[in-house]
Structure 1
C-alpha cells in the first residue's frame, strides 16, 4: 500500500483471454492478507503476453500476465473479502460449471463413433455388429449417464445452497476423467483416421488434457477427497 493507492508486482501464467480482456481480477498478497483488485489492462506496468505453441485449447487465447509496479487506487480493491476465501470461492463455482463441459465432449465423441461404426463395413458387416465394439459403446453410455446424474444432483444442491466444495471436486475429477478416457477410446475405435482432423475425438482428447488440469488437477481433487475421508490434509 502506498498512501491511497496500491502497487502490484508479480506474474501469473495460463490466463484465458489475457490479451483480450479490458480488466483483470487480481488476487494479491498484502500486509493485511490476500486481497482482490480490479486492474484495467491499459494500466502502466501491465503486460499480457500470449502463450503460443499450444497443442490443446488452440481456439482459446491463453496469456501470461505481468505486473511491474502497477498502481491502482483503493477504490479498485474488492472491499468485502480477505484471505483465500475469495479466490477459492470463485474456483468452486467455476469448477461446478466445468463438470458439465466434459459431458458434452464425451457425448460428441460417442455420437461420432456410433455413426462411424454403423457405416464402417469390415468383413461384410458393420463394425457396430462386433461384440467388442458394442461393449465399449455401452460402457461409454454408462459413464456419460453417471456423470450427467452427478452434475444434475450437484446443480440441485447448488440451487438449494447446500453444495460443498468437496462434492464439486469429486464431480470435476470424475467427469473429466470420464471424458478424456472416452475421447481416447473413441480415437482408438476410429483407427488411424482417428488422429486426423476428419474426426473430432483427437481434438476433444487434446482439449481435455487442459480441462483435466485447469481449475485444480486430478491429483488435487483426489487429495480433497482424501482429506474429507480421513480428516488429514495431505497437501
Structure 2
C-alpha cells in the first residue's frame, strides 16, 4: 500500500520501528499521531441530536458518527470545538474498511519510508498501483491517497502504502505489507529516486547538576 502525507509541523518524527530508506531521515510516525479508535459497544449512546458517535480520536479532538435512522448510513465528523456534523463522503461500510486498512498499514512492522521528488509520480514507478476510493479523514491531509500494488500472476501478496507532500517538490512515501512479504523489490525500484536526508541527531540526556 502506498500513501503520502505531509509532516505535522512542530512534531519531531520519532522512530516507530519502521525503516528509513537511503538515509531519508523521515520515518513513518503514523502510530504516534493517528490514534482514533472505535467506541466500545457498551458505551454507544445516541446524542441529543440523534447522532450515534461510534469512532473517536484518542485526544477527543475528532468524532465520527452516523444517524441510525438514516437509510443512507452516511458517516459524519466534527471537532470538539464545533457542534456541526459534516459529511465525510463515506458510508459506514466504506469508513470501517478505510479505518481497517489504515490501522493495518500503520500497525505493521514490515514497512519502510523514503522522501522522493514529485517527479516520481510521472516516472511510471507507481503505475502498477491502484488507488483505493477512500476519502481523507478530517485529520488527514487532503492529498493523502492510499493505494495498493496490483497482484500479478505468480507474485506474493501486494504491498500497500501512502504518498503525501513533505516539502515543496518532495513526497514522503511509505510502503507497507503484511509480515512475510519481501519489500526488497519495492525498495530496489525506489532507491534511485530517494533524496538523501541527514539523520536526526539525538543528543544524550544530561543529569541536572543537583
Which has more radius of gyration? 1
Which has the higher relative contact order, 1 or 2, with Cα contacts under 8 A spaced 6 or more apart?
2
Q: Do the structures match in fold with TM over 0.5?
A: no
